[in-house]
Structure 1
Amino acid sequence: MPTTALNGTSLHYRDEGDPQGAPVLFLNALGTTLHLWDAVLPHLPERLRIIRYDMRGHGGSAVPPAPYGMGALVKEAEALLDHLKVTNALLVGVSLGGMVAQGLAVKRLDLVRALVLSNTAAKIGAPKMWDDRIATAQTKGLPALSDAIMARWFSRDFQATGDTDHWRAMLHATPPEGYAGCCAAIKGTDFYTPTSGLRLPTLGIAGSEDGATPPDLVRETIDLIPGSRFTLMRRVGHLPCVEKPAEFAALLSDFMKETGHV
C-alpha cells in the first residue's frame, strides 16, 4: 500500500481494481481507516478503479499537529486524485468523508462526476459538543469516548451481536491528535451555502438508528442539491457500510448504473 506526500502530508492509500475502469473514491468517517469499506467492495460491479485512503491523523497517514481545517482535508483529497491522474470520479463519503466530498465537489467539479453522501450533512453538531470531544480525546484518550461512539455508529441489533469489537479497536488505534484535529475541522465547517450551489447527480443515504447524523439532518443536506435522491436504510446506525455492506453496495451499484458511471 503506497504512501505519498500530498499537500505537505504523507497519505496512505490504495489504488485497486481496473486501472482503466470508472474511478470511485471512498472517503472515511472520523475514527476509521480505509478498511471501513472492506466488506462493501466484493459486492460492487467489476472493472471499477477503487481508490481509498486514510485521512490525515488516521491509520497509516501522517498526524500533523491539531487543529485541522476542512480546507486542508479537501486539498489532500484533491491532491490524491491529481496525483493519480483521476477525473470524473464518483465520490462516496460517509460522515466526515461526506463533508470532504462536498467540499471537493464545490472546489473541483472537474474531478467529480457524482456524489454519494452517506450519514453526513453540510453542518454537523454544535461547537461546544466538538470542543468537549476534543478535550476528552486529548486528555483521556479515545477509549473514554468509545462507548458513546459505538452507540451512535451502530444499531441496537448490531451492538447485540458483539461485532463492534473490531471497530472499537480501530477507533482506539486512532491517534488522539489526529482525531482531535479532524473534530476541529468538522466544528469549523458549514457547507449549507456552497453545497446548495452544486449541480450533479447525488445520492443521499441515512440510517434509521443513526445517533450522529439523524435521517432528517441528512435529508436536509441532500435536498440542497436539485435532482438529488434520498434513501433511508432501516435498522442501521451511522455506518451502514459496516452493518449492511451488501445492501449498501447495491445502492451504490444501482446509482452507478443510473448515472452511467458503469
Structure 2
Amino acid sequence: MPQAKLADVSIHYQLDGDEKNPVLVMSNSLGTTLDMWAPQVQALSARFRLLRYDTRGHGQSQVTPGPYSIPQLGADVLGLLDHLGIQKASYCGLSMGGITGMWLASAHPERIERLVLSNTAALIGPPDNWTTRAAKVQQEGMASIASAVVSRWLTPDYAEKHPEQVVYLEDMLKATPAEGYAANCIAVRDADYRETIKKITAPTLVISGAGDLPTPPSDGRYLAESIPGAQYVELAGAHLSNLQEPERFSTTVLEFLHA
C-alpha cells in the first residue's frame, strides 16, 4: 500500500479516480482508518481524484511518539499533498478529521478549495474526558473502550438492525494502536478553534447528525454560524453519519462541491 515518507512520519494513503479530476482529501475520525470512507468511494471518485489517508498513529500510518497536536496533523496533510505534487484540494473531514480541516483552512487557505466539516466541533470537551480516555487505553488497551465508543457512533436502532457493522467498527477501533490513539486524544483535547474558524474563507459545508452525541447538531450550527457563508445540513444519523446514511452523505457532499 502506498506510503508517503514525510519529515518525521510515514503516512499511508490511497488514491482513487481519474488523475485528471480535481482532488478531494478525506480525513478519518479518531479510532478509524481510511476504510471508514468506503461507502463514499464509488460516488465521489467518479467526480474527483479521491485521496484518503490514515491519520498519524492510525491504521497503516506510523505511530510516532505523542502527544500530537492538530497543527501537527494538519502539517501531515500538507506534507502528503506536497509529496503527491498537489497544490490545492478540497477537503472533507469527520470529527477529528474535521478539526484538522479547520486548522488547514484557517492557517493555509491557499491550499483548500472547498471545505466539508462533518460531525465535528470547534471544541470537543470536557478536557478531562480525553485525558482519562488516553490513560485508559494506554493502561488497559483498546478493547477496554471499544464497545462504549462505538455505541455513540451509530444510533441505537440502526446498530440493532446492523450488528455486523457494529462488529466491523469495534474491530477497527481495537486494531488502532493504543499509543497512537492516546496521542490523538490529546490533540483533540487541546484543540479550541471557536475563534479561529471565523477566519475561514473557503466555501464551507457543515454536516451534523441528528442523533450525534459526541458532536451534537448544536456544535454544527455553531460552526455554520461562525464560518462566513457556511452552509448547514443535518442528517438523521449519529456520529458516523457517512456510514449510517451513505447515499445521502455522498449526494450532499457532491452537490456542495459542484455548486
For Structure 1 versus Structure 2, the TM-score category normalised by the shorter chain is: over 0.9
Identity of counterpart residues, as a percentage? 36
The answer as to whether partners of 1:151 and 1:211 remain within 8 angstroms in 2 is no
State the partner residue of 2:248. 247
8 Å CA contact 2:102, 2:197 repeated in 1: yes
- Deviation of 1:45 after TM superposition, in Å, equals 6.2
Structure 1, residues 86-114: CA drift from partner, whole Å, max 9, x if none? 13311000000000011111121111011
Q: TM-score, normalised by structure 2?
A: 0.96
Contact 1:117-1:203 within 8 A present in 2 as well: yes
Which aligned pairs between 1:20-169 and structure 2 lie closer than 5 A? 20-44=20-44, 46-161=46-161, 162=163, 163-169=165-171
Deviations 1:21-64 (A, max 9, x none): 01100000000000010111212362410101001110000001
C-alpha distance in 1, partners of 2:33/2:105?
22
Question: In the alignment, which of 196, 199, 221 is matched to residue 197 of structure 1?
Answer: 199
- In the alignment, the residues of structure 1 paired with residue 255 and residue 145 of structure 2 have an alpha-carbon distance, to the nearest angstrom, of 36
Q: Which moved more, 1:182-191 or 1:64-73?
A: 64-73
| Pairing partner for 2:215 from 213, 216, 227 | 213
Q: TM-score, normalised by structure 1?
A: 0.95
Instruction: Output the CA distance in 1 between the equivalents of 2:154 and 2:7.
Output: 34
Letter in 2 for 1:89: A
- Deviation string for 1:187-224 (max 9, x for gaps)? 11111121111112100000111111011012112211
Does the 8 Å contact 1:63/1:177 carry over to 2? yes
1: CA distance, partners of 2:170 / 2:155: 14
Name structure 1 gaps, 5 residues minimum. Answer: none
Paired residues of 2:26 and 2:93 also in contact (CA < 8 A): yes
Q: Is the 8 A contact 2:242 2:249 kept in 1?
A: yes
Q: Which amino acid aligns with 2:200?
A: L
Aligned counterparts of 1:3 and 1:60: Cα–Cα separation in 2:
9
Q: Distance in 1 between matches of 2:44 and 2:54?
A: 21
Give the gaps of 5 or more residues in structure 2: none
Q: Could you tell me whether the CA contact under 8 Å between 2:34 and 2:53 is conserved in 1?
A: yes
Q: Does the CA-based 8 Å contact 2:4-2:83 persist in structure 1? A: no
Matched residue, 1:15: 15
- Mean alpha-carbon deviation: is it higher for 64-73 or for 163-172? 64-73
Tell me the distance in 1 between the aligned counterparts of 2:219 and 2:193. 13
Aligned residue pair count: 257
C-alpha contact 2:58 2:181 (8 A) present in aligned 1: yes
Alignment partners' CA distance in 2, 1:121 and 1:254: 22
